[in-house]
Amino acid sequence: ICRIIFYSMKARLRSFGYAMNGIRLVFGKEPNMNIHLVFVVLVVVCGFIFHISITEWIVCALCFGLVISLEMVNSALERLVNMVSPERQPQAGAIKDIAAGAVLVAAICAAIVGLVIFVPKGLAVLGL
């Protein structure tokens, strides 16, 4: 039993290492991911400045996770399509466009959430 548990834990740690490597492959190397990270930092800074509520932090964190996760899936799909279909094909382009569109939809929704949370706080500071 101990050997089974040890093997299972070792396998989980190895999986975690692969996942961390996947994160490293995207962060800092994908231009769009860098843009998302700039917005994450801006939102976090604004969150501290405006003292957003726990619920607002949770919503922001969910938006961060959704956009960043979709950007990672988009990057993976782009690499896969490029590997499988190095020559230009309409279907390959459509796959990449659809994945990029998913990221855009999530980013727009996250921006709307950010506006709903921060615009009223900014207007209150300005006395409007």
Amino acid at 50: F
Among the listed residues 30, 71, 78, 87, the single catalytic one is 71
Q: Do 74 and 49 contact (CB within 8 A), yes or no?
A: no
pLDDT in tens, 23-76: 999 988 889 999 999 999 999 999 999 999 999 999 999 999 999 999 999 999
For the question of residue 87 being annotated catalytic, the response is no
Closest alpha carbon to 45 in 60, 34, 32, 31: 60
pLDDT in tens, 71-111: 999 999 999 999 998 888 999 999 999 999 999 999 999 99
pTM metric for this prediction: 0.84
Non-local (6+) Cβ contacts of 56 within 8 A are 47, 117
Q: What is the pLDDT of residue 5?
A: 67
